[in-house]
Structure 1
Amino acid sequence: MPELLARTTSAQLTEWMAYERVTGPLGPERLDALFATLCATVANTARAKGRKAEPKDFMPKWDQGDKGPQDWREMLAAVKAYNRRIGGTDSTTEGGAAGGDA
């Protein structure tokens, strides 16, 4: 992963994050659907009488879009938070985007 982050620009990472937010997780096709089905099966084996769990109950909702447009500072904060979670390095200067492209 560190090698990939070293070769990926901030703009590319942002584009992939946006793509993943709309389409779902990157990786093998529809693992979200597979795991939603598995979770529903497990939940149904442990449930009492009542409504049966369905895969849609466990399916992530991609591209919520309910936040409205973000300004660049909110987007930068989100990218920095994601970058920290995956162990990336921060090449920005204090208070703005690298290269002054904010």
Structure 2
Amino acid sequence: MAELLARITSAELTEWMAYEQIAGPLGPERLDLLHAITAATIANTARGKDQPPYEPRDFLPRWDQDAARPEQDWQQMLAKVKTLNAQMHGTDTRPREAL
């Protein structure tokens, strides 16, 4: 973590973490679509003739599982960000009047 924070700011890391929570893993781990296509192809070869064909989306993982959580107000979200920032030894760069 220290090496990572030496290369990017904690704010940028937090943004990438949030993006990955919504979009799924970045980089080579993003092979989920390729595997979903393969899984759909295999499943379609084994399905019965009276069954509808499988689609790749039937096998894609849902990355945004937290979307079903109740909405939070901005104070709750800010408290969570402050906690994460403190855990990663980040710096609060907001102007003093915002603190």
Instruction: With the length of structure 1 as denominator, give the TM-score of the two structures.
Output: 0.49
With CA pairs under 8 Å and 6+ residues apart, which has the higher RCO, 1 or 2?
2
Instruction: With the length of structure 2 as denominator, give the TM-score of the two structures.
Output: 0.50
Larger radius of gyration: 2
Higher-helix-fraction structure? 2
